[in-house]
Every structure is written in C-alpha cells, then in structure tokens.
Structure 1
Amino acid sequence: MIEKLAEQLVNLTVKQVNELATLLKKKYGIEPSTSIKVDPPLSQKEETQTHEKEEKSIFNIILKSSGNSKLSVVKLVKEITGKGLKESKDLVDNAPSVLKESVNKKEAEDFKNKFEEIGAEVELK
C-alpha cells in the first residue's frame, strides 16, 4: 500500500501537487515547507579547506630561511636529504625550498625541531 502511494505521489502533475497542498492545508492544517535547503556542490577551494581541517598525517618539509647559522643548516639538509654538499647548499641558498616530501607527522616534527634548534625557519605543509 505504501509503495503504491509513493508511486502515485511521484507521478503527480504540478496541478495535482498544488491541489494536494491546498487539501492538506485546509483539511488537516498541514502546510508544505516552501524552503528547501539544497547544499551546493563544494568548490575546489572549499574542498581543500575541508581537507585541511582534518588532521594531516603526511607533510612536506619546507626551509623558509637558514637564519644565522647557514653552515649548520647546510650540514643538516645534507644529513636529512642524503644529497651532496653542493646540492644541499643550493637548497639553502634558494630558500624557500622543499627539503623532503611525504614525511610522516612525527618525523616531520622531529626534523622541524632540529632545524629550529640551529636557528633555521621551517614550515610543514
């Protein structure tokens, strides 16, 4: 019975829907809701913001500046990245630069702390 009723409701014309609304209002005091909330699809920007609100577990380590102790920073970059001395120096000289990508949260925070201890500015993204 309910399925038949649902099928009949779905197949009503606009005129019949208006008549049903009038009948429900007059006879039973039921008023149909005139406001229907439809959430628009998320834009790419909103989607990105939504994902940022969730706690991240993978980070990129970005050197913002080397601070006063450039040589120590170059050595640490060399140690962390496994690159040669010249490549490490180039990364430091061209800051901001990505030092390491796709690092788990704990490792990224450890690296950040090491850099901050020697006066460098690092960002986790």
Structure 2
Amino acid sequence: MADIAKLAKELTSLTVLEVNELKNVLKDEYGIEPAAAAVAVAGPAAGGDAAAAADEKTEFTVTLKDAGAQKVAVIKAVKEITGLGLGEAKALVDNAPSAILEKAGKDDAENAKKALEEAGASVELA
C-alpha cells in the first residue's frame, strides 16, 4: 500500500514535460494509449464541446512582476497568500519577477492576483 501511495504522489508531482514523456513510454513500450483511457473514465463534457473542455486551463501560475509603490502591503499580501514567513515573503517581493503561486486552481489564482493588485503590485496570471 505504501508503494501505491508513493507512486500516486510521484505522479501528481510530474511536470507537463514529464507527463508527456510518460505518455510516450506507455504508448511505445506497452501499447497503452493514455488519452483513450482518460476519455473512457471521464467521458465527454455534459452539454458542451468536449474539445473546448479539454483545452480549458486548470492550473495557473501567479507571477509578481513588480511590487509598485506599496511594497509593505505587497509583502503582507504575499505572506498571506503563500503562508510563508515575513522574511521569505519579502525575499520574493524583492526578487520580482517571482512566482507567487504555481499549479494553483483558477479561483485561487484569481483571488491571489486580485489581492496583490489591490496591494499595488503588478501581477501576471499564466
């Protein structure tokens, strides 16, 4: 059971490039088509275009481009968003551009962007 949990943890931490490489290995060496398995499990989007649903981005990166004039407010916002300590949050702000959140859900990313912009920062959502 511990091996399965370890495998699950490793799979969920793969980057996009690593997932693509895994897909190729499964296809070339084992004849497994990951996309076909995903469609069979997930099925088409109800009442919508399946291609559009597949293209919709689910993970976002919030990048602090510039702290602006209200640096202290931005540091506080970064601290609240990330849960980092004050010194670590200050280091992120001082070293902008910095990724504040990575692989965040749409709502979390938009909320973080809004909080940082309200604090006076210049932010990019990708």
TM-score (norm 2): 0.55
Aligned match of 2:92: 91
Matched, 1:55 2:71: no
Aligned AA (1:111): A
Summarize deviations over 1:22-77 as a string: whole Å, max 9, x none: xxxxxxxxxxxxxxxxxxxxxxxxxxxxxxxx331210111000111000000111
| Secondary structure of the structure 1 residue equivalent to 2:80 | helix
* Residue correspondences, number: 72
Aligned match of 2:108: 107
Aligned match of 1:7: none
Distance 1:83 1:106 in 2: 20
Q: CA deviation at 1:110?
A: 1.1
Trace 1:54-73 onto structure 2 (pairs within 5 A). Answer: 54-73=55-74
Structure number having the greater helix percentage: 2
Query: What percentage of aligned pairs have identical amino acids?
Result: 53
Distance 1:116 1:77 in 2: 11
Q: CA deviation at 1:117?
A: 1.2
Matched, 1:118 2:114: no
Distance 2:107 2:119 in 1: 19
Large movers: runs of 4+ above 6 Å: none
CA contact 2:60–2:105 (8 Å) conserved in 1: yes
Q: Which has the larger radius of gyration?
A: 1
